[in-house]
A and B are shown apart, each in its own frame.
Chain A
Amino acid sequence: MCLGIPGRIVAVTDAARQMAMAEVSGVRREVNVACVASAPLEDLVGKWALIHVGFAMALIDEDEAAATLDALRELGEAQEALEAMAAGDAALGERA
């Protein structure tokens, strides 16, 4: 929950709400980009960000993203983050 995970911003999905699609270890997830926003928001596309609980919190370069992802995998935290994302998706479906 505290470590976050690197993801690559692939598209702006809702500029008014500052939402963008990020790709995290092959999984796509809509994230909030308010904390790293630049004008125009489209400039973020293609960049890497450290994503904490659905919010892009810092822009990082590609090498840093790769090194961070490696460290997270070794700690088992990358898997944990991906499982949490899947749990979040499941929760939206539950009893709905």
Chain B
Amino acid sequence: MSVSAAIDIQACGVGYGATQVLSDVDLSIAEGEFVVLVGPSGCGKSTLLNMIAGFIEQTSGRLLIGGRDVAGVPPKDRRIGMVFQSYALYPHMTARQNLGFALKVAGLPQARIDERIDEVAQLLRLQPVLGKRPGALSGGQRQRIAIGRALVRDAAVYLFDEPLSNLDALLRTELRVELKRLHQQLRKTMVYVTHDQVEAMTLADRLVVLNQGRVQQVGSPLEVFTQPANRFVASFIGSPAMNFIEGGLNANGSGPVLELPIGRLPLDGYASVLPTPSSADIVLGVRPEHVALDADTGPQATVTLTEPMGSQTLVWVRSGGIELRSVQAPHLRFVPGQSVRLRLDTRFCSMFDRASGLRL
């Protein structure tokens, strides 16, 4: 256990009777780190956050915040700041009173409270709305007040529970950038829960992908994106979603070769995490970005559908009885029925064991 760990989660689990919401979570979050918990709904990410906050007590394992075991410590004594999805502002107080409530409860002198409020208000550009009540503010302003209310305290850890999910798309991207700037500026430890993979990728120093109450992978966004630990992570992270091709792996004289419905493919430049077996039933994961359609040789394919998205066009092609997605530049006009040749870049592929789903 490192001394600098802001949060240390050791083999924590949360279960109610027969249902296990979280199992065997091991996670150490460093001081100043921005960690994003991401996963589909019901994966346990909010439970994990509420466990750190102290609203849910773990039923097994140990949880340390700032090196202190917080078992039985109520939320108010855990030195945390928290931002909720529904803002949860006090409706009967002005923005200024909302920001100052925690400091008032802590018994700080009014002059010091005002000073802190003004600092945070400046940071979040909230001065014009300080006198207003939450009811008179827009969604974006409300969430900024909520963020300010968390930041105004000198907390050890700041927790964010899907703070941007209630906002419209434009505001969400705006506040996302603002949050990232804020973190760069303050270098505070932040734990952020979201189901939005774009938010997760863009904000995180480290991503924690959860599914069915278990940690699937912990790593930097790029690590998780390029080397997903298993099929779940591969399918959850990345948009448009990864192509999965069932096939076999065989070794012949010149090296390992993939046997795929679209043809045989030598496995070149693949960074394997496990020692590559000489033969196995596998699922090959190829991101649409790595399906090239401009080859002179290679498997034949027919374009079946195109989805222009503006910055890129998603081209669906059929080959060997399977359908693949390929991302293409928008100026390359593919039309359904068009004949193309496929090239899969095995350097950027992921190979998963078909039975266990683990990356090979």
Q: Do A and B come from one complex?
A: no
Residues of A near any B CB (own CB < 8 A): none
Interface residues of chain B, those whose CB is within 8 Å of chain A, are none
